[in-house]
């Protein structure tokens, strides 16, 4: 079982760095702190408590047919509370909620005797894969190597390392596409994500149910608002507006993020909710699905949801995990692009999972991105009102690869998932043993050049990246919002 990690804002150190960055750039502090829109004091818990591997009192039933069966027909004994259903890849699943966790074992034994039931399993839970961000070293680039005017670009050390915005010179007429972020939701009112978010469903609403106040929500709702902060951070890495004198720059600011909520304010979501989220993202046309979440227990509904999305042409990009062991679930599923994390020196991050299942590595330490514009508990406790923060984790590395895939698709929408994976792997910079680092650390500029030239990729530029060419600057103006 994968050990859960704790994560939170590096608030005080980050606030000082943001202030310094503003002063150095001659920008007012208000650039970092846009006016709040209807502030809402959401009770987000940035320090995760230890959780069991399974959601108490919840059982996932796989039926033998698609014929509807009521929960009470299936289990006529008292104690069953609710029933949800999911049909994916020609298989029908039901999520049964019991009023008492102690009843679960006996109920599972009873359910296995039913002729309507093919299998019965507990409902695993999976967590957001972010960790405490260490105090960041303020990294400034000279004026000749700072092509973007986003206030916090000097703190986005990973962008020049992986070839952004230099890669944009190859994006002449970007095709708009959808990248789904199945996560804790997104703050869709964030000014640096304005116009970038398409709201999907909330499959892990905040109303706690079941034994000990834990459990899946009664119903799916239409407001996938981030009440944690993790999903907003992931979305910003992919698609924050670029060159707009505010905050950070996303890697692929021309794409739209489909906001699917499957993790709650405590940073976890059930397998059933995540499977619903993946299926919904595929049905809404997402070409890339980002899963910055994971755990140690397998799940049949998630496995089939991934296969369903792949059958519709989607590339699944998943974080490998933060337990410094083997790649976790669902990143270890066939066809999924598994992403580990490196630091600024291209060493293994001291938390990242690493084994021969890893496809590529991406920067995942002290990554600056967007966070909610409303106050969380952690912000209020430190009397700091921020809209940006740094986090670490394979959760942060994963969306960098999703954004890379989005850039490649925006140039050539006809690429399939296998071709995307091949380009990303083939153009990665080798940084160590491939049994630990996979193909290496991503190099986005090299992958775009290889695609445009239809030729073997050129050698990635030396770090730090060279100043952009005039053509690159011209492309940035096209992408600028």
Could you read off the pLDDT of 59-110 as tens digits, one per residue?
999 999 988 776 666 766 666 656 688 999 999 998 888 877 778 888 898 8
- Kindly state which CATH superfamily the domain 11-50+129-479 is placed in: Peptidase S8/S53 domain (3.40.50.200)
Tell me the mean pLDDT in the region 350-354.
93
CB atoms within 10 A of CB 284: 14
pLDDT of 400 strictly over 70? yes
* Catalytic center residues: 183, 230, 395
**Each residue's pLDDT tens digit, 102-144:** 788 888 988 898 888 999 999 999 999 886 555 554 454 444 4
Report, as an integer, the average pLDDT of 176-204: 95
* CATH of region 55-125, choose from 3.40.50.10470, 2.60.40.1220, 3.40.50.720, 3.30.70.260: 3.30.70.260
**In terms of Cα–Cα distance, which of 180, 185, 192 is closest to 222?**
185
Contact by Cβ (8 Å): 276, 260: no
* Most confident region among 43-52, 198-207, 225-234, 436-445 by mean pLDDT: 436-445
pLDDT of residue 480: 38
Average pLDDT in the 32-37 region? 39
Q: Where are the domains of the chain?
A: 11-50+129-479, 55-125
Mean pLDDT for all residues in the chain: 80
**Residues 316 and 302: beta-carbon distance below 8 Å:** no
């Amino acid at each position: 079982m994968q050990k859960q990690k704790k994560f939170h804002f590096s608030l005080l150190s980050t606030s000082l760095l943001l202030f310094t960055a503003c002063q150095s750039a001659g920008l007012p502090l208000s650039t970092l702190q846009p006016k709040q829109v209807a502030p809402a004091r959401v009770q987000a818990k940035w320090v995760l408590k230890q959780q069991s591997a399974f959601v108490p009192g919840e059982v996932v039933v796989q039926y033998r047919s698609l014929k509807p069966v009521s929960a009470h027909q299936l289990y006529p004994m008292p104690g069953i509370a609710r029933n949800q259903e999911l049909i994916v890849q020609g298989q029908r699943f039901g999520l049964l909620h019991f009023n008492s966790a102690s009843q679960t074992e006996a109920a599972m034994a009873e359910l296995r005797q039913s002729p309507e039931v093919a299998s019965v399993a507990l409902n695993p839970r999976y967590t957001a894969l972010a960790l405490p961000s260490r105090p960041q070293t303020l990294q400034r680039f000279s004026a000749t190597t700072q092509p973007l005017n986003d206030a916090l670009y000097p703190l986005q050390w990973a962008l020049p390392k992986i070839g952004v915005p230099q890669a944009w010179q190859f994006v002449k007429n970007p095709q708009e596409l959808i990248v789904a972020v199945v996560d804790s939701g997104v703050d869709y009112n964030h000014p640096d994500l304005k116009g970038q978010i398409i709201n999907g469903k909330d499959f892990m609403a905040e109303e706690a149910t079941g034994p000990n106040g834990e459990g899946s929500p009664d119903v799916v709702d239409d407001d996938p608002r981030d009440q944690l902060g993790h999903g907003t951070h992931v979305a910003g890495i992919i698609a924050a507006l670029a060159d707009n004198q505010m905050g950070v720059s996303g890697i692929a600011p021309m794409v739209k993020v489909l906001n699917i909520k499957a993790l709650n304010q405590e940073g976890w979501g059930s397998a059933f909710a995540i499977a619903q989220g993946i299926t919904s993202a595929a049905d809404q046309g997402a070409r890339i699905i980002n899963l910055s979440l994971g755990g140690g227990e397998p799940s049949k509904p998630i496995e089939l949801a991934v296969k369903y999305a792949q059958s519709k042409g989607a590339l699944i990009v998943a974080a490998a995990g933060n337990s410094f062991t083997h790649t976790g679930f669902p990143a270890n599923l066939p066809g999924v692009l598994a992403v580990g994390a490196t630091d600024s020196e291209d060493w293994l991050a001291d938390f990242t999972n690493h084994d021969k299942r890893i496809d590529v590595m991406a920067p995942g330490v002290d990554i600056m991105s967007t966070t909610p514009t409303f106050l969380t508990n952690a912000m209020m406790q430190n009397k700091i009102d921020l809209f940006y923060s740094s986090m670490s984790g394979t959760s942060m590395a994963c969306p960098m690869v999703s954004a890379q895939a989005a850039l490649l698709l925006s140039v050539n929408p006809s690429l399939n998932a296998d071709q995307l994976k091949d380009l990303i792997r083939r153009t990665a910079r080798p940084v160590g043993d491939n049994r630990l680092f996979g193909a290496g650390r991503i190099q986005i500029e090299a992958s775009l050049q290889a695609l445009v030239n239809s030729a073997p990729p050129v050698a990635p530029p030396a770090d730090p990246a060279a100043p952009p060419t005039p053509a690159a600057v011209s492309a940035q103006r096209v992408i600028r919002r």
